[in-house]
Amino acid sequence: MDKAYLDKFYKKSLTERMDALVDANILSSDDLLLNEGLLLSDELADNMIENYLITYQLPLGAALNFLIDGKDYVVPMAIEEPSVIAAASAGAKIIAQAGGFKTTISERIMIGQVALKNIPDISLAKINLTNHKKDILKKANAAHPSIVNRGGGAKDLSIRVIEQDEEAATPEFLIVHIHIATMEAMGANIINTMMEGITGYLESLTGGTALMSILSNYATECLATATCQISVDLLKRNDFSGEDIRDRLIEAGQLAYVDPYRAVTHNKGIMNGIDAVVLASGNDWRAISAGVHAYASRSGQYRALSSWKKAENGDLIGELTLPLPVGSVGGSISIHPAAQFSKRLLGYQSAKELEAVIVSVGLAQNFSALKALVTEGIQKGHMGLQARSLAISAGATGKAIEQVSEQLKHAKNMNLATAKELLQEILSLEE
C-alpha cells in the first residue's frame, strides 16, 4: 500500500478516490469498471430473501489510517449515520502515530446447544452424557463431515443445568453445549446441522425430551481483543492538555462502567464502527450485536465494553474485547457483489484477520467519541455532516450542497426550514 495517494482522501471527488485506491495498490483497475455491477441484481436479491420487492441501499465508504499488528488497512464501512467514518479515521490516525493497534484473537470456537427437559434423574443424565462424550462428538461430526475434513468440527462437550424457577413458572432444563471449530465460516448452518444430528441420541442418554437444538450467538469462546497505547503529546487539543484529556477520557470510561444508562450509549458508539464493518463484509451484524451486548452484561450489570487507564509512563492505554464470530466465507459473503468488493478493499486473508480489523475499528470509534465528549462535545463533529444532509433534504444539488451546508453551520437555526431559505437565496442569485 502506498499511503501517499490517500492524502486528503476526504477532499477528493468520488472518481478521484477510486483512482487513488488503485494508485495505492489497494484495488485493481477492474474495480473501477464495476460500478453498477456491485449492486444486487433482482434475481440474486429475490433468491436471498422471501417476498423481495426492492433493494435498500446504504452508503459504503472507506475508513483510513488503520495500522493493525504492523499492517496498514483501508476499512470498508456501510452505514447511514454521518461522522462515523470520519471519527474512525481520525481516531485511527492518532493511534497509528502511537504505534497502531495490537490484537489478540482466541481460538475460533462456536457453541451449539440442545435444550432438554422432563429428565427423570438429572444426576444420572449428567453421568451418562459424560461417559458417552466421545460418542456424542463422533455423531456430531458425522452429521457434517466436510468441516471435519477441513480441520474443524466438534471438539468438546459441556453441561449446564438451569433449575426450575417457580416464580417465573419455568421448568428445569439440562443444556448440552457442543464446542465446535467452524474454521473460516461463521458456521450457523454447520452447528445447527450437528446439533440436530445428535438430538435423538441425547434424548436416549438422558431420558428427557429435546425442546430445541440450535447454535448460540453468545460466542464466549471466539473473542477478539484490541489494545492501543497513546502518548499524551498526541492527545493535546485546543485549550486541553494531553494529561487533562487522558484523565477525562479515563473518567468517561469509568462512568460507562458503573452507569448502565451511560454504558448503553458508550457501547452504541463502539457498535457504530463494529456493525458498519460487519455489514460491509457480508456478515450477520444482528448476531454480532446480540452477542456483544450480552457480553457487556456478563457481570450481571450492563457495563462498558472498553476500558481506558493510565500507563506507568503516563500514556493512555485502551482495550476492547468482544465476541466476534465472523466468517470469511459462506452466506452473503460469497454471493453479494459489494461484500466481495469489501473483501478486496480490506485485503484480509482469514476470519481471524477480519476479527482483528473489526475490534480495532470499535476501539478507534470509542476513542474518538470519548475524546470529543470530554473536550468540545459531540455535536461539533456531527454538525458539518448534518448540514450536508439538511442541504440535500432541502433539494440542493451539485455545488449548492456545499454552499447551503456551509451557510447552515453559521445560521441561528440549523434546520430544514433554514436550509430551504438558504437554497432559495442561492438559486435566486444564479438566475
Topology at the third CATH level for domain 381-430: Helicase, Ruva Protein; domain 3 (1.10.8)
pLDDT tens-place string over residues 109-139: 999 999 999 999 999 999 999 999 999 999 9
Query: Is 169 a residue whose pLDDT tops 80?
Result: no
> What share of the chain in percent tops pLDDT 90?
74
d(CA 333, CA 277): 12
Contact 179, 147 (CB under 8 A): no
- For the chain, the domains span 56-106+225-375, 109-216, 381-430
pLDDT score, position 387: 81
Mean pLDDT along residues 355-384: 87
Of 284, 315, 319, 355, the catalytic one is 284
Q: Where are the alpha helices (DSSP H) in 281-378?
A: 285-296, 337-346, 351-373
Per-position b or e across 47-66, b if 16+ CB within 10 A of its CB: eeeeeeeeeeeeebbbbbbb
81 is catalytic: yes
Q: What is the C-alpha to C-alpha distance for residues 346 and 354, in angstroms, rounded to an integer?
A: 9
Which CATH topology does 109-216 take? Alpha-Beta Plaits (3.30.70)
Q: Is 293 annotated in the active site? A: no
Q: How many whole angstroms separate alpha carbon 112 and alpha carbon 34? A: 39
Q: Which of 184, 135, 195, 189 is nearest to 352 (CA)?
A: 184
18-57 tens-digit pLDDT: 999 999 999 988 876 666 667 888 999 999 999 999 999 8
Is the domain spanning 56-106+225-375 CATH 1.10.1740.10? The answer is: no
Does residue 284 carry a catalytic annotation?
A: yes
Task: Pick the catalytic residue from 46, 80, 81, 402.
Answer: 81
| pLDDT for residue 412 is more than 80 | no
Q: Which of 69, 382, 406, 420 is catalytic?
A: 382
Q: How far apart are alpha carbons 305 and 226 in whole angstroms?
A: 12
Helix/strand/coil (H/E/C) assignment for every residue in 211-262: EEEEEECCCCCCEEEEEEEECHHHCCECCECHHHHHHHHHHHHHHHHHCHHH
Q: Is 144 a catalytic residue?
A: no
pLDDT digits (tens, 9 = 90+) for 60-76: 999 999 999 999 999 99
| Phi, psi for 382 (deg, rounded to 5) | -70, -35
From 133, 236, 268, 399, active-site residue: 268
Q: How far apart are CA 185 and CA 147, in angstroms?
A: 10
